[in-house]
C-alpha cells in the first residue's frame, strides 16, 4: 500500500500532538512532534546561556546539539537531546515561555526543517507543528489545520501540566497560549498559516477519539487513492 505524509498544523494546545500520535499508531506510521524539536533546542539554549540575538553563538550551539526521537517500551515516542531523554524537561512552563522566540530564529528553523525533511524522505510519517504543510512538506498528501477556542485549549494545557506535577494558574496558561499564538502567527520566518489545501478541523467541541477517527478516515481515503 502506498505511504503518505500527514501534516498537522495549528494553534498551541488544540490537541495536535495527541491526535498525531494516535493516528500514527493506528496507521503504523512514524510520529514526529516538530514542536518537541524546537523545545529541545530551547532547553539547550537555556542550559548553555546561548545569546539568542547573536547568530555566531546560535550557530555554534546548533552545531553542538542533536535532537532525536526514540520509541519507549510502551510504544510512545520520546525526545532526546544529545542522547539524553528530555521528554519531561521540554514540557516545562519555562521552556514554553522561551520556545516561540527560539523557534523564530532563522538558523534554528533551517536546521530543524532539514532534519524534518530527512525524517520524511520515506514517507509513512505523521508530523505536527506550525509550518509542516506550508514549508516542510507542502507536497504532503494530507494537510490538516487544527484550531479551538482559547479557553478550551487553556483548560486542556493546564490539565496536561498538572498531570506532570506542574500547577500553573489558568490566567498564566491563557496568557502564554495567547502570546505564543500571536508570536507564532506574526513572525517573519515561516509564520503559522493555514497551508494551501489544508482541511480545517475545529476541535472545541470534539473529543480526542472523534478527532482521531476523522483524521484516520481522511488519511485512509488518501492512502487508497491512486497517486
Ligand atoms: O507544538 P508545541 O506547542 O510544542 O510547539 C512549541 C513551539 O515551537 C511553538 O510555540 C511554536 C514552535 N514551533 C514552530 O515554530 N514550528 C513548528 N513546526 C513546531 C513548533
- Nearest-atom index, ligand 1, CA of 9: 18
Report the nearest-CA residue for atom 18 of ligand 1. Answer: 129
Question: Considering its fold, how many domains does the chain have in total?
Answer: 1
Report the nearest-CA residue for atom 6 of ligand 1. Answer: 35
Residue 83 phi, psi (nearest 5)? 85, -5
Report the nearest-CA residue for atom 4 of ligand 1. Answer: 35
Per the listing, cell 482541511 goes with 199
- Nearest-atom index, ligand 1, CA of 184: 11
Pocket of ligand 1, candidates 39, 112, 130: which has the most ligand atoms within 8 Å of its Cβ, to mutate? 130
Tell me the three cell numbers of residue 131.
Answer: 509550518
Query: What is the maximum alpha-carbon separation in the chain?
Result: 51
Report the nearest-CA residue for atom 9 of ligand 1. Answer: 100
Q: Alpha-carbon distance 209 to 73, whole Å? A: 23
* pLDDT tens-digit profile, the chain (227 residues): 899 999 999 998 898 999 999 999 999 999 999 999 999 999 999 999 999 999 999 999 999 999 999 999 988 889 999 999 999 999 999 999 999 999 999 999 999 999 999 999 999 999 999 999 999 999 999 999 999 999 999 999 999 999 989 999 999 999 999 999 998 899 888 899 999 999 999 999 999 999 999 999 999 999 998 66
43: Cβ–Cβ under 8 A, 6 or more apart, which residues?
Answer: 81, 86, 89, 90, 95
Q: Is the CB of 19 under 6 A from ligand 1?
A: no
- The three-class DSSP label of residue 147 is strand
Give 90: exposed, middle or buried? Use CB within 10 Å, 0-12, 13-18, 19+: buried
Tell me the whole-structure pTM to 2 decimals: 0.92
Please count the other Cβ atoms lying within 10 Å of the Cβ belonging to residue 106: 13
Pocket of ligand 1, candidates 103, 116, 192: which has the most ligand atoms within 8 Å of its Cβ, to mutate? 103
| Closest of 45, 20, 52 to residue 146, by C-alpha | 20
Could you list the residue range(s) of the whole structural domain that residue 147 is in? 5-225
The CATH number linked to 219 is 3.40.50.300
Amino acid at each position: 500500500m502506498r505511504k503518505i505524509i500527514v501534516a498537522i498544523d495549528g494553534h498551541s494546545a488544540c490537541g495536535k500532538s495527541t491526535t498525531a500520535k494516535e493516528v500514527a499508531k493506528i496507521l503504523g506510521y512514524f510520529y514526529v512532534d516538530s514542536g518537541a524539536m524546537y523545545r529541545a533546542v530551547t532547553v539547550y539554549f537555556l542550559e548553555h546561556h546561548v545569546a539568542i540575538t547573536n547568530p555566531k553563538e546560535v550557530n555554534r550551539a546548533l552545531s553542538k546539539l542533536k535532537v532525536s526521537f526514540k520509541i519507549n517500551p510502551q510504544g510512545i515516542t520520546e525526545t532526546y537531546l544529545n542522547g539524553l531523554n528530555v521528554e519531561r524537561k521540554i514540557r516545562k512552563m519555562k521552556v514554553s515561555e522561551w520556545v516561540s522566540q527560539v523557534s523564530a530564529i532563522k538558523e534554528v528553523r533551517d536546521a530543524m526543517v532539514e532534519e524534518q525533511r530527512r525524517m520524511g524522505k520515506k514517507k509513512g510519517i505523521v508530523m505536527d507543528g506550525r509550518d509542516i504543510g506550508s514549508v516542510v512538506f507542502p507536497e504532503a498528501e494530507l494537510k490538516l489545520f487544527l484550531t479551538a477556542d482559547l479557553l478550551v485549549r487553556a483548560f486542556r494545557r493546564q490539565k496536561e501540566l498538572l498531570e506532570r506535577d506542574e500547577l500553573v494558574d489558568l490566567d498564566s496558561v491563557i496568557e502564554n497560549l495567547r502570546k505564543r499564538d500571536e508570536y507564532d502567527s506574526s513572525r517573519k520566518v515561516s509564520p503559522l498559516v493555514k497551508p494551501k489545501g489544508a482541511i480545517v478541523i475545529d476541535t472545541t467541541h470534539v473529543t480526542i477519539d472523534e478527532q482521531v477517527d476523522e483524521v484516520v478516515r481522511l488519511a485512509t481515503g488518501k492512502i487508497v487513492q491512486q497517486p
